[in-house]
Structure 1
Amino acid sequence: MERRAPSSGGGKGLLKVVLLCVATLAVISALGAGGYLFYLLSRLPRVDRLADYKPPIVSQVFGDDGSLVGEFYLERRIVVPVDRMPRKLIQAFVAAEDASFYSHRGIDYFGILRAAFKNVLSMRKKEGASTITQQVTKSMLLTSEKKFSRKIKEAILAKRMEEKLTKDEILYIYLNQIYMGAGAYGVQAAAETYFGKDVDHLNLAEMAMLAGLPKSPNAYSPIKHLEKARERQAYVLDRMVKEAYITPAEAEHARNTPLSIHPMKKVNNEQSAYFLEYLRIQLEERYGEDQLYKGGLKIYTTMNAAMQRAAYESLRAGLKAVDKRQGFRGPQKYLQADEVDAFCANVEAGIDSAVLKTGETYQGVVVGVNPARGEARVRVGERTGILSRKNMAWAGRLALVNGYDQPRKGRKSLCLGSVIDVAVVSPEIDKQGAQFSLDQTPDVQAALVAIDPRSGGIKAMVGGYDFRKSQFNRAMQSRRNAGSAFKPIIYAAALDKGFTPATVIEDVEVEYPDGSGGIWKPKNYDGTFRGPVTMREALTNSINIVSVKIMDQIGASYAADYARKFGFTSPISANLALALGAASVSPLELTSAYAVFANKGVSLPRSVITKVTDNDGVVLQQQDSVPVATPILSPENAYVITNLMQSVVSSGTGHRASIVGRPVAGKTGTTNDSKDAWFVGYVPQLAAGVWVGYDQERSLGAGGSGGQAAAPIWAEFMQKAVSELPVEDFEAPENVTFVLINPRTGRLAREGTPGAIMECFVKGAEPSSYDGD
């Protein structure tokens, strides 16, 4: 029987089926990919909106001399045009980030292959291949999600961007948008942050260092990791040589150029924080958050930077003096031996300088004591120093305990592990050998505000000891009893009712009905009675009973109405206690009232803003060149009150506020139990007020009067604040006259009369008779 060869038709049929399936899958995949691509394309953002690039820009605050005093921002960015950027700076970034930038059309295909090859060889992702255009695309139009779809979108948009924008336009966005570390966005902010320069003043060494930052701003930060930053700088210079942007000789010179890293001091700092917060509230109400934090506003203010610094320094130093008079409160807490290292590591992280700064206060831990020598060894972060007995003498004789045993309750001592504040007397060498003095963060608070009486502009404002711990602005938000600092307003009202500086009032015990069936007996601060005294003597020595009697004679309602004319918005009650400062007012209100006296009886609106412009220079707001002036009292009476308050400073309760070589007028204020201490005063060009007290009312204790607690702060501030201003006297109006009087009787005195003084009067109000007439 003949055998037949097996048929191959079945195999061919299977192959056809397989090929058909593959073809079908390919078509489906192609359709799917096309559909997916169409879906992506339909959801891509528009590239053409980048032509009107408007990133968030820092809003800048300027002082009265044009100096930068503060900033408001979400991202610290200062946009600069490409033509202000040095060409070599642009070339440095191109060489480091995208060498073929000028030749590719958004995507560097050769770069992708090169990066992939290197990554395969190293078995890990070692090199990226995103062009500058792709980086702009990701930053401006996409999210940073790590998905394949995002890479596809990035590539498509990069191609579109290259069609819509020029290379310089892309660089303009990139170099202003990119994050450069240390809170700086864009090359201008980075140049300021790291070198304290404008971008067009950078040298090649600095340009190369900035160009090395985008790869890893933190790792290559010249502030934190200078050696790594130098290595990256060398890489950038090599790339610039390879791309023929610079010569090898230029690169070598740049490598050897000394780098001076001067981190820009943040202008929005603690010393101006309360002023800037007061300003921020007004700006945000008018312009909104977006424009304030992103719109690049230029805000010109009344702040004087030197005065603001003086206010901050004087208030803090004064509060420490007041606080130390209350005694040492003891260590803040106690650590065990195994807790010290971790605590000190946290302290070290907050120290931003290579050595501890003389005069600065730091948190330290006692790590050794020598009772025999009366000294303790204190560790501040990674540094150590000595706290000697003489440098903690203000705290009394503290026991030094050589162990980690906490002291018995109520006993003041320093043991191992005691956490204390120390001020640097002299800095350390190689992190050892610093000399410390015992310090203490005050519990007591204060406020200081200074106003130009001739313009109404607020020159300085400090609302507390530390803005970081309390944003409550005591200069404007607190309402505290004014005490005797309110008396000049009552005396001014009395002048309008016919009183004069020579009017004699009996300082004797007196009583009044208190309105509830009881009796009110006002008392003098020192508990004594002086008998007949003139108004001048009464104000000079702040005699309470005389002030109450004056107010009783002119009428409480009249006095309260008169006080309201000075611009107080706080409630002013019409009762006799107002003569002793029972009204609760803010330091800003009371200082503004004194500015009226300094400005010859005329009130001007308070202001902090002189002009606001947008980022293009368009004026959005401008202060009137001639502010609205409101006469409150006559120039003659304003001068008489000023003259009376000069006596308060020269020979009365405010003598600690005297400034050598300058006429000063002012008044102290102390409330019951010394819960509030005030000094408000002025020279012709500047009025300032200081309040001292606890947020939760309690006595300031020994040395807590206005003359002891507030006046020294005022004097230290004013001495610094007016140091560059010419010496001016208070100018007497033509209608003011001076005559010789007997202060015991208030009558005219003849030459040679014992104790006679020259007294000032508004013409026609001077006494007309002599003693014995």
Structure 2
Amino acid sequence: MSSTGGKRPTLRADKRYPSGGSGKSPVKKSTPKKSAPKAASVKRSRRKTTARKSTRTPRRGVFGWIRGAIGFVLGLIWSIIWRSSVVLGLILAGAVLYFYAQLPPFTEQIDGRTRGSVTLLDRNGEVFAWRGEQFESITDIGQISRHAKNAVVATEDRRFYWHMGISPRGIASAVRINLSEGRSALSGHGGSTLTQQTAKLLCLGVPYDPATGMNEGEYEADCRRTTIGRKLKEAVYSMAMELKYTKDEILVIYFNRAYLGASARGFEAASQRYFGVPASQLAPGQAAMLAGLLKAPTRYAPTNNLKRSQDRADTVIKLMYDQGYLTEAERDHAWANPATLSEAAQAHAGGYFADWVMDTGPNYLTRDTTEDVILRTTLDQGIQRSAEEALQFIFQEKVRDGSEAQAAIVVMSADGAVRAMVGGRETRVSGAFNRATMAKRQTGSSFKPFVYAAALDLGYTPLATVVDEPYCISLPGQPNYCPKNYSREFKGRVTLTKALADSLNIPAVKVSEAVGRENVRKIASDFGIDNELAVGPALALGVSESTLLEMSGAYAGILNGGRSVTPYGLMELRLEGESEPLMGQGGGFGERVISDTAARNLVYMMNQVVEAGTGQRAKLGERPAAGKTGTTQAARDAWFIGFTADYVTGVWMGYDDNTPLSGVTGGGLPTEIWHEAMVRIHEGKPINPLPMDIPQNAAQPDPHSEGAPGTAQSSNTRAPQPKKDNLAERILRDVGSIFGRRN
């Protein structure tokens, strides 16, 4: 028990305030005492409410779970995307900077050709053909017409001045079009910007290296390959170019690198090639035509199909107008006056000739040149046109439709300078089979002048006689060789002139046997027939093969007085910009083959072929001409080769597969082609006499021509000898027999 007497002690709160200085208790206030229990009650109530809430289970449901899962996944994806974007952005920036550092100054990107160009000039110094990659550089955007710049931008990349090298919109559009047309996404339309096209022309900075084993064509094809990896690299390279170069510098590279057909690399070369003007002077129509070539240079080249090229240019002009680059008046004027080719491009002369001349020079300065080369040639463009027109005229007028027969023409001067060459019916070609230089065909009776040249050089005259009669030669181990005339008739005793004029076979064989086949072979070879000649008696009838160029060159030797010639087309080869030539004339006069007297007599005999023999369709009125027809067995080949005092022209006609000609002989269509060509070639030229000696009493046979059958007798080269010289003739005849007049 406590001392309180069982009463509960009174509870008192501790003093909260210190006593004052007087030591008395502080004054008690009623307000704090009343409010404290209420505050504690509120706190206790809040604690209880919070406790109840924390113990309550949430009610989320299925949709709540789905929303939560989606939110989590989207958050994760977003996190991956932005982090990956940062990484890819850094990689892209690094790749762009890498290519940026590799890019050279834009001036070093202008000419990236692996081959040089060859410009061919005619005898007057005018350009007539190009080979290799013709190139003229543009180093500043001011060197090209604004119309050309606008045409390219309007056609190839209308947003060129607003993008940074790639156009996502263009790529998406191209993919959509490709897929809608049934192609793969990367096939067909590319959606490439002009910068990307330039990057492709630069092969993404990879230069051509022969050590890779690829040739130039394979290298360029590899540069044009379209793969996802290559497109990605192309995009990066393009962005680096946009950082390195200005827009105009990119255009300058493009204008220099773009191929525009017809061996023209770049807009300057193409402008000169097609229109004969510098690129700075291109009119809207001309600029539109060049821009139109970018789609397909070979297909739209105006030298291949001018109308198709003009139609394509009209489309480009419309694009230029729609994008504000042309006024309505300029558009209408361009449509009304389409671009046309320059005179040189229209002529496109000497395709076969140009190919031949390229072959006559060293490869490292022609076909495989890495330099820009100038070739001055012997071509006469007027004569070339005359030859082409003559061939086309005869085939249009006198050859049945659908015929696949071919023909070739060579025109040259007496020194072997080739003035024109047509290697087939398709005259505007390059790299085609040239029947004038490549086709080795039997020569037929066009070979006979070499037989008579051998006889004349041994002292026979045009009035010496030979008997045309049945004739056979015994050959060891073979059946007898019995030549026949084309007419199957025999003329009896005839002069050598008559035998050649009528192209009699038996007299030709007899003369060949009399003078010796070896002599005939040697003279033909020395005149330039550079092929294996027959060894039997049929040699005289032209069973050996030769080309039209060789035969025409051999006839030039007859015209020039008996000296051999080497046909040539190259007069001078020099590097562009240099004045001193690296090479001079590639042919001309050679050694003497027969005497001048023999040559003059032979010219007379060949003149009689035209005046009174198988070549009468070659007559040129008052202008004297000489020549010889030739028809091979079964008429597989037909020839006429002849000359005036100014030019030698050879014509061959036949089928490439040796199919016999139907109703054609050398005296027919080939002679008519020759006539048409020579009439055109000599138009307006003075008439010059042939270098020939006409025998006295030419209408009479040589009275001193008696002898054993098969032996042509000799007389004086200008007139028959009097009887008092019979002894001299007998001596000459005996000496001739010692040196092989009889084989």
Between stretches 587-596 and 457-466, larger displacement belongs to 457-466
Aligned equivalent of 2:721 = 767
Is contact 2:423-2:435 (8 Å) kept?
A: yes
1:712-731 to 2 correspondence within 5 Å?
712-731=672-691
Please, which runs of 5 or more residues in structure 1 have no aligned partner?
8-17, 102-106, 241-250, 325-439, 749-758
Counterpart of 2:670? 710
CA distance in 1, matches of 2:79, 2:391: 84
* SS of residue matched to 2:382: helix
User: Which residue is equivalent to 2:463?
Assistant: 502
Going from structure 1 to structure 2, the CA distance change for 1:737 and 1:20 (only over 3 Å counts) comes to closer
The residue that corresponds to 1:304 in the other structure is: 380
Greater shift after overlay, 622-631 or 153-162?
Answer: 622-631
Aligned partner of 1:188 among 247, 262, 268 = 268
Q: For residues 173 and 545 of structure 1, do their structure 2 counterparts lie closer, same or farther at Cα, with a shift above 3 Å needed? A: same
Distance 1:27 1:742 in 2: 110
- 1: CA distance between counterparts of 2:200 and 2:601? 71
Structure 1's 29 and 529: CA in aligned 2 closer, same or farther, altered over 3 A?
closer
Q: Shift of the alpha carbon at 1:491? A: 0.8
1:283-318 CA distance string (max 9 Å, x none): 6834475537xx554333322223223323323443
Of the three residues 589, 600, 604, the one matched with 2:550 is: 589
Match of residue 121 from structure 2: 62
Give the distance between the partners of 1:730 and 1:276, measured in 2 at CA. Answer: 31
Check if 1:739 corresponds to 2:696.
Answer: yes
Quick one: which amino acid aligns to residue 188 of structure 1?
A: E
Q: Distance in 2 between matches of 1:171 and 1:560?
A: 64
When normalised by structure 1's length, the TM-score is 0.65
Q: Is the 8 A contact 2:164 2:242 kept in 1?
A: no
Structure 1 position 761, deviation (Å):
5.7
3-state DSSP class of the match of 1:477? coil
Pair 1:160 & 2:160 matched:
no
Query: 2:406 matched to 1:453?
Result: no
Partner SS state of residue 291, structure 1: coil
Structure 1 residues 159 and 563, CA, compared in 2 at 3 Å: closer, same or farther?
same
Alignment of 1:273-352 (within 5 A): 273-282=351-360, 285-287=363-365, 289=367, 291=369, 296-319=372-395, 323-324=399-400
Provide the secondary structure at the position in 1 that maps to 2:202: helix
Per the alignment, residue 202 of structure 2 pairs with 140
Matched with 2:320 is 233
Given that residues 92 and 211 in structure 1 are in contact (C-alpha distance below 8 angstroms), is that contact kept between their aligned partners in structure 2? no
List aligned pairs for 1:611-622, cutoff 5 A. 611-617=572-578, 621-622=582-583
2:563 to 559, 583, 602: 602
1:174 counterpart (239, 254, 260): 254
Asked whether the equivalents of residues 485 and 669 of structure 1 are also in contact (C-alpha less than 8 Å), the reply is yes
Aligned residue type for 1:159: L
Separation of aligned partners in 2, 1:118 and 1:524: 77
Preserved contact between residue 508 and residue 531 of structure 1 (Cα < 8 Å): yes
Distance in 2 separating the partners of 1:635 and 1:216: 62
Displacement of 1:696 after TM fit?
3.7
Q: Check whether the contact 1:320–1:442 (CA below 8 A) recurs between aligned residues.
A: no
Which piece of structure 1 moves more, 178-187 or 33-42? 178-187
CA distance in 2, matches of 1:527, 1:626: 43
Partners of 2:119 and 2:556 lie apart in 1 by 29
3-state secondary structure, aligned to 2:696: strand
Whole-Å Cα distance in 2 between the matches of residues 271 and 100 of structure 1?
39
Determine the C-alpha separation between the residues in 1 that align with 2:657 and 2:281.
52
Structure 1 residue 540: deviation in Å?
Answer: 1.8
CA RMSD of aligned residues (A): 5.0
Report if aligned partners of 2:165, 2:242 keep a CA contact under 8 Å in 1. no
Cα deviation, 1:20-76, whole Å, max 9, x if unaligned, reads 9999997887566445543554466832264232144764333323343333356x7
Q: Which letter does structure 1 place at the counterpart of 2:665? A: S
Q: Which amino acid aligns with 1:285?
A: N
Query: In the aligned structure 1, how far is the partner of 2:123 from the partner of 2:532?
Result: 33
Task: Identify the residue that residue 262 of structure 1 maps to in structure 2.
Answer: 339
Equivalence for 2:492: 531
In the other structure, the counterpart of 1:412 is none
How much has 1:743 moved relative to structure 2?
A: 1.5
Distance 1:40 1:625 in 2: 54
| 1:567 to partner: Cα distance | 1.7
Amino acid in structure 2 at the alignment position of 1:462: V
**Mapping 1:7-46, distance limit 5 Å:** 30=86, 33-35=89-91, 37-39=93-95, 41-42=97-98, 46=102
For residue 631 of structure 2, the aligned residue among 630, 647, 670 is 670
Q: 1:32 to 1:84 in 2, by over 3 A?
A: closer
Hey, what's the Cα distance between the residues in 2 that align with 1:211 and 1:84? Answer: 17
Q: How far apart are the structure 1 equivalents of 2:604 and 2:165?
A: 87
Partner of 2:454: 493
Quickly say closer, same or farther: Cα 1:28–1:520, change in 2 above 3 A.
Answer: closer
Residue in structure 2 matching 1:47, options 76, 96, 103: 103
- Assess, with a 3 A threshold, how the Cα gap between structure 1 residues 470 and 488 changes in structure 2: closer, same or farther: same
The CA deviation at 1:79 is: 3.7
Inter-partner Cα distance in structure 1 for 2:166 and 2:442: 76
Letter in 1 for 2:237: K
With 489-498 and 304-313 compared, the bigger mean Cα shift is at 304-313
Offset, 1:609: 2.2
* Within-5 A mapping of 1:743-762: 743-746=700-703, 762=717
**Which residue of structure 2 aligns with residue 364 of structure 1?**
none
Task: Return closer, same or farther for 1:604/1:50 CA change in 2, 3 Å cut-off.
Answer: farther
Structure 1 residue identity aligned to 2:666: G
Paired letter, 1:450: V
CA distance in 2, matches of 1:270, 1:117: 43
Aligned residue type for 2:379: M
Q: CA separation in 1, counterparts of 2:97 and 2:164?
A: 22
The whole-number CA distance in structure 2 between the counterparts of 1:117 and 1:677 is 65
Q: Which deviates more, 547-556 or 254-263?
A: 254-263
> Aligned letter for 2:721?
P
Number of the residue aligned with 1:658: 619
Are the aligned partners of 1:480 and 1:676 in contact in 2 as well (CA < 8 Å)?
yes
Q: Secondary structure at the match of 1:542?
A: coil
Name which of structure 1's ranges 620-629 and 568-577 shifts more when overlaid on structure 2.
Answer: 620-629
Larger proportion of strand: 1
Contact 1:62 1:69 in 2 (8 A): yes
**Paired residues, what number?**
604
**SS of residue in 1 equivalent to 2:311:** coil
- Measured in 2, the distance between the counterparts of 1:222 and 1:706 equals 42
Deviation at 1:747, TM superposition (A): 6.0
Match of 1:85 in 2: 143
Moved more, 171-180 or 572-581: 171-180
1:693 matched to 2:647? The reply is no
Q: Which amino acid counterpart does residue 730 of structure 1 have in structure 2?
A: L
Supply the distance in 2 between the matched residues of 1:257 and 1:201 (Cα, whole angstroms): 17
Superposed CA deviations along residues 591-633 of structure 1, whole A, max 9, x for unmatched, are 1110101111122322122233445457664323995532222
Task: Determine helix, strand or coil for the equivalent of 1:38.
Answer: helix
Deviation at 1:727, TM superposition (A): 2.1
- The separation in 1 between residues aligned to 2:590 and 2:167, in whole angstroms, is 72
